[in-house]
Amino acid sequence: MKYSLIFISFVLASAFHVVSAKSQKEVRIESASQFQNWCKHLSYHYFRQKQQQPYNWVASTIRQLNDYQTSGSWKINNAERTIFCHIRIGKKAKQTKMQIR
């Protein structure tokens, strides 16, 4: 009984994560901190899909005219990977352009 409750709660949490991830892509980017968190989220999932474990996120975000630009980096296996994200203010998060070096 105990294990079935744990399994059910895990399934519900997983389903909620999938729904929230889809709805996050539809959110409009309105602030620099919101965009920086979105860039972190995108890049983290990119590396996890490649079976890599990123750690030690460092980033800065600037606003230039009607754009947000985030420049950040992750460490992966003691090597630094640089991330650049760009979006127009007020656009949906799914329109983010990401570049990894």
The answer to whether position 86 is within a domain reads yes
* Domain presence at residue 15: no
Mean pLDDT of 42-48: 97
Q: How many domains in the chain?
A: 1
Domain-located, residue 36: yes
Per-residue confidence (pLDDT) for residue 24, from 0 to 100 = 74
Instruction: Show the domain range for 86.
Output: 28-100
Full-model pTM? 0.75
Whether residue 78 lies inside any domain: the answer is: yes
- Asked, for residue 51, whether it belongs to a domain, the answer is yes
pLDDT of residue 25: 79
Evaluate whether residue 23 is within a structural domain.
no
pLDDT at 12 over 50: no
Residue 61: partners with Cβ closer than 8 Å, 6 or more residues away: 32, 33, 35, 36, 39, 68, 69, 70, 71
- Average pLDDT rounded to a whole number, residues 68-81: 97
Decide if 5 is inside a domain: no
